Structure 1
């Protein structure tokens, strides 16, 4: 049962990432006409590092080896894209990029929900005795 709960935890982290990304994209779109607004982005690397640190245990035999530590937060890293300015007023929101990111995020979210539904259906089948 431990494997099942790790899978659900990983799917939950993915859903949290997709949720946060959706909020950031929506905020960027809402500020498309705001003077000096710089678009924000969500870093997937922090979510991946959280997942890796929770599921991999390693014994370091040399100080140069990568540290695998458990992370206590479930958050994602949001950063500002400072080097981009698409408008003369200093605004850094590219509407085409934001809409494409929103579509990709929606597909990712739906795939995670489908996988989670599959896990719950499998659990229901087991609880019902295979019927």
Structure 2
């Protein structure tokens, strides 16, 4: 009898991928905390996990063999964060403490998803080996 690992692991593999993507977005916000005019971004994790977010891939036409092949993925779920503090005058909307808190929470949830997946794989391994770890 064949076992589908995708079915066995459930949504955790998608959750891990989205947590990694969200870490990159939050890290970008933190890295640009002092960049004038930078607008903090984020996405709704639950909407993304449920598949509500779409991805579109665009590519630039190569008109010469020496041109680099350029393509990018645009996520329509990425939104600008609404700041809770007044503008300091430089147009930057990154609130460093809030971004760090979001990054930490995301990391803790990432770790929980990885641990859950590891436990499921360990359980499957025990079942295959007849309970002998």
TM-score, scaled to structure 2: 0.71
Partner of 2:97 in structure 1? 96
State the secondary structure of the residue aligned to 1:89: coil
1:79 corresponds to which residue?
A: 79
Deviation at 1:72, TM superposition (A): 8.4
Q: Between Structure 1 and Structure 2, which shows a larger proportion of strand residues?
A: 2
Partner of 1:62: none
Counterpart-to-counterpart distance in 2, 1:25 and 1:13: 18
Residue in 1 that maps onto 2:65: none
Question: For the Cα contact (< 8 Å) 1:40–1:79, is it kept in 2?
Answer: yes
User: How big is each residue's C-alpha offset from its partner over 1:11-55, in whole Å with a ceiling of 9 and x where there is no partner?
Assistant: 0111011101100111001111111110000222432322xx8xx
**Map of 1:21 onto structure 2:** 22
For residue 116 of structure 1, give the secondary structure of its aligned residue in structure 2: helix
Q: Kindly tell me: are residues 7 and 126 of structure 1, through their superposed partners in 2, closer, same or farther at Cα, counting changes over 3 Å?
A: closer
> Structure 2: 5+ residue runs without aligned partners?
56-74
In 2, Cα distance between equivalents of 1:95 and 1:130:
48
Q: Secondary structure at the match of 1:77?
A: coil
RMSD: 2.5
Once the two structures are TM-superposed, the CA of residue 118 in structure 1 deviates from its matched residue by: 0.4
Q: Is 1:38–2:43 an aligned residue pair? A: no
User: Would the aligned equivalents of 1:20 and 1:76 in 2 still touch at CA under 8 Å?
Assistant: no
| Partner of residue 9, structure 2 | 8
Q: Give yes or no for contact 1:13–1:47 (8 Å, CA) kept in 2.
A: no
Please state how far the C-alpha of 1:125 moved relative to its aligned partner.
Answer: 0.4
1:8 and 1:17 map into 2 onto residues whose CA distance is: 15
Which structure dedicates a bigger proportion of its chain to helix? Answer: 1
Q: For residues 49 and 24 of structure 1, do their structure 2 counterparts lie closer, same or farther at Cα, with a shift above 3 Å needed?
A: same
